[in-house]
Amino acid sequence: MSAWLVARFVGSLFLDGATFSIWTTLILLHYSTELPPWFVALVGSVASGLGSVLQFVLLRWVLGARQPWMRRFAPSRERLAAALARYPSASFLTIAVARATPLPDAPVKLVAATINYPALLYLLAIVLGALPYYFVIALLGHEFPFPGWILAALAVAIPLVVIIERLIRGRRRRT
């Protein structure tokens, strides 16, 4: 296990966690062919968690900002109200369970940021929630290696699906 390989793995998951977190599963599958599943799960959940907590802290800052120029980066009041109605409490267990699934955890993150949930507890919940999910994905990728071209195709397809879905949803709202 080379230091460069580990640095690429950690850096990839950190950046993914700090941004949109749409390539996490692909990153785990890719590196699970070269790294042991336990390592992928343990180190990966910490790296991803640190990136996610950075995004969380920035989101809290944006939501708490009083400057007019910051308001355009904050989610709309309607979106906040919908998230708060859907997830009335952003408890430790809720955050951990949301992270333990492949479903997006953005609504829970938004609620937690809105109620000023402690960043260190958020990090701990993210890491503990990610551990079993990351281990299962890493074990799957280790036992059944996916060809690089399939992972590359999925890396392109996933953001395209997200963009198309948002465009369709935007058109439905306008009509």
Q: Which pLDDT value is given to residue 67? A: 61
State whether 16 and 77 are in the same domain: yes
Q: Could you read off the pLDDT of 45-80 as tens digits, one per residue?
A: 999 999 999 999 998 888 877 666 666 666 666 666
CB 142 within 8 A of CB 32: yes
Q: Which pLDDT value is given to residue 175? A: 66
State whether 30 and 115 are in the same domain: yes
CA dihedral (146, 101, 105, 172) positive or negative: positive
> Residue 165: is it exposed, middle or buried by C-beta count within 10 angstroms (0-12/13-18/19+)?
exposed
State whether 69 and 21 are in the same domain: yes
Q: Which pLDDT value is given to residue 88? A: 63
State whether 76 and 116 are in the same domain: yes
State which residues form the domain around 30: 3-144
Please state the domain count of the chain. 2
Q: Which of 44, 55, 46 is nearest to 20 (CA)?
A: 55
CB 155 within 8 A of CB 86: no
| CA separation for the pair 73, 170 (Å, rounded) | 18
State whether 45 and 109 are in the same domain: yes
Mean pLDDT over each residue of the chain, to the nearest integer? 86
Confidence of residue 123 (pLDDT cuts 50, 70, 90): very high
pTM: 0.83
State whether 30 and 77 are in the same domain: yes
CB proximity list for 1: less than 8 A, separation 6 or greater:
34, 35, 39
State whether 140 and 164 are in the same domain: no
State whether 115 and 134 are in the same domain: yes
Q: What percent of the chain has pLDDT over 70?
A: 85
Q: Which of 14, 75, 80 is nearest to 47 (CA)?
A: 14
User: Of 21-30, 85-94, 101-110, where does mean pLDDT reach its minimum?
Assistant: 85-94
| CA separation for the pair 58, 70 (Å, rounded) | 11
Q: Which pLDDT value is given to residue 159? A: 82
